[in-house]
Chain A
Amino acid sequence: MNQSTELQWIDYLIILIYFGFVLGIGFVLRRFIRSSSDFLASGRSIPAWVAGLAFLSANLGAQEVIGMAASGAKYGIATSHFYWLGAIPAMVFVGIFMMPFYYGSKARSVPDYLSLRFDEKTRGFNAITFALMTIMSSGISMYAMALLIQTLHIFDSAIRALGLPQTWVFHASIIVSAVIVLGYIFLGGLTSAIYNEVLQFFLIVAGFLPLVTLGLINVGGWQGLKEKLQPAYLHAWAGLNNPRDNPLGVEWFSLIMGLGFVLSFGYWCTDFLVVQRAMAADSMASARRVPLIAAVPKMLFPFLVILPGLLALALTHPVNAGGAEGGKGASPAASVEATNPVSLIPPETNPETGQIVKDDKGQPVLNYNMVIPNMLLRYFPSGMLGIGLTALLASFMSGMAGNVTAFNTVWTYDIYQSYIRREADDRHYLRMAQFATVFGVLASVAVAYFVAAFNNIMDVLQLVFAFVNAPLFATFLLGMFWKRATGHGAFFGLLSGTLAAALHHGLTLSEGAVPGVKGGWIVVVHTYESQMAQNFWTAIYAWVVCFFVTIIVSLFTQPRPDEELRGLVYSLTEKDTSARGPWYTRPVPLGIGVLILTLILNIIFF
């Protein structure tokens, strides 16, 4: 840490009040939980704006917030592609075209839709991989939080005051977060998680808006920021003709198809973690509005979460200090410390030796993930610091809670009720859902300690899950818009898409990477300019293979009769006309408006 920061009583008080509130919401909501549907689907009663903000926040875990600022410092304004290209179009699509099937089919989860539309094996494959993934993400989120708290030394004095050794900072972070998350979900179920996600949304804005404002004042406004950064960091699209001309190291085709289509639609349209929020809405009209309402703040969030990265870069490594050239891989590390005594982007240190990590050119590797925490500590006095840390803790915890609520639903409905105990009264399933919540949190704790001990195994597992996810959207697209698609087609399409992803990853590598978990573990036949380009192409191959295998297998297998597919496929479903009222409350005009605004943002920051 560059400056020793001891929290004052006011900071502790703010954090404690927040914890109290979170649990208090759970206690208040407890008396509304009477059935498994109340607990797992909020009894389908959430107003559109609440579900919309939760839809956004469920994705806005602290790793996302910290990671976006880190990418902002690493890649510049081009990071906004992850929002404007990699989220908004998919959010509009799921709201306008897909929610009618998710909500209207009375499916209780995304895997449940797959079983209604296709068959049990497709649902089983999706449900089991998804359940494993949520537990893992929740555990990783927990680990990341504990590690960050340990690194920042912010709660050291509290641990000392309790008479515990320093190493307990890590354990205490895990225990406290687990108890709180478990507490409020166990009491209030999905509603509790959704309410706290909305609270987190407002806290993030309350914590980050003044941070960005202070940073901008310090750097001399927007003009000052532009002068202190290289031109390559100030454009989203310029230089995308050649991967070597832009900081991302990708070209426009793989960016649009890989990020903008396959990965983005795969996440926003099929990941039950976010879709669950929209499915909890109080009506079909609300459910369709949920992703569109979420898209409005989403398109503005780059100014809150990516801009801090740019500010940190401009403040610590201004371009006139020399050292860095434009384009991909230009590391501003050379001028570290020389220009500014307070480094907002510190070099990475080896946790065992304490030595600074250097790259193959002998330059220090920067730890971009410290941008947000360091900015908070740099600009916020006691008081505001409490708000900023609360915002960060809130996103860590709702990141966990989002995964746990998605897990307990998929476990209860798609695994337990489908394969273990089919006929039981609803009370039994409610108890099972509560038990699954306890199990989910305990398993997350286990994962957190597992990650701490075996980082490498975790990387491999995450990679496997990325392979499973990549082709998913092809399955849903065909399932919803082509009534001829069959269960066998979907299942074998998914399998071969996953296999294609693994194969592509095993045959390619990015520049400077060693074969292994980064790719090339079969044999290297192609080398990409960056790991990002490799990831995008892996996704594109997986999607294309899944798409065509599904079509081919479907054509050779028996289709389901039309009557069985009513409400599940576009051509056999009545158009939803339930939204009446002014144009800005109807999905299609709202969606078009969102897309136009996003286009304008892209033009401004071209």
Chain B
Amino acid sequence: MGIDLRYPIGLLFVIFGLLLVFYGLFSGTAAYSRSLGIDVNLWWGLIMLVFGGLMFFAAYRKRSK
């Protein structure tokens, strides 16, 4: 019933991923003393972005079949 859930999940993770990546790129290193000097926004944002993209891709491939 309804919509393929992978679309909204993919969309949400792509949006969150992009936000984190850009915020991570421009927020400067001082913000990351908490996270042990690791720019977790950038790295985890990239991972979320890729995951969101894969979800999208999986849903798209199923529909085009």
Contact = CB atoms under 8 A, between A and B. Distances in A.
State yes or no: do A and B come from one complex: yes
Interface of A: 10, 13-14, 17-18, 21, 24-25, 28-29, 32, 38, 42-43, 45-46, 50, 188, 191, 195, 198-199, 202, 206, 210, 214, 217-218, 378-384, 387
A29 B40 CA distance: 35
Contacts of B50: none
Contact of A381 (B2, B5, B15, B34): B34
Contacts of A38: 1
A154 B32 CA distance: 19
A10 B19 contact: yes
Given A10-B19, A13-B19, A214-B36, A383 B24 contact: yes
Given A206-B13, A214-B40, A380 B5 contact: no
B18 to A, nearest CB: 11
Contact of B9 (A191, A199, A218): A199
B1 A46 contact: yes
30 contacts: A10-B19, A14-B19, A21-B11, A25-B8, A28-B2, A28-B3, A29-B3, A45-B2, A195-B5, A195-B8, A199-B8, A199-B9, A202-B9, A206-B16, A206-B48, A210-B40, A214-B35, A217-B38, A218-B36, A378-B34, A379-B34, A379-B35, A381-B34, A382-B23, A382-B27, A383-B19, A383-B45, A384-B41, A387-B16, A387-B20
Contacts of B5: 50, 195, 198
A50 B7 CA distance: 13
A382 B31 contact: yes
A384 B19 contact: no
Contacts of A45: 1-2
A381 B39 CA distance: 9
B8 A21 contact: yes
A192 B63 CA distance: 22
A18 B5 CA distance: 15
Given A199-B8, A218-B36, A32 B41 contact: no
B60 interface: no
Nearest to B55: A202
Contacts of A24: 8
A393 to B, nearest CB: 14
Contacts of A29: 2-3
B44 interface: yes
Contacts of B19: 10, 13-14, 17, 383
Q: Among B9, B19, B35, which residue has the most Cβ atoms of chain A within 10 A?
A: B35
A383 B5 CA distance: 25
A381 to B, nearest CB: 5
Contacts of A214: 35-36, 38, 40
Contacts of B38: 214, 217
A18 B15 CA distance: 10
Given A191-B1, A381-B35, 19 more contacts: A10-B19, A10-B23, A13-B19, A14-B19, A17-B16, A21-B12, A28-B2, A32-B2, A43-B1, A195-B2, A195-B5, A198-B5, A206-B13, A206-B16, A214-B40, A218-B36, A379-B34, A384-B40, A387-B16
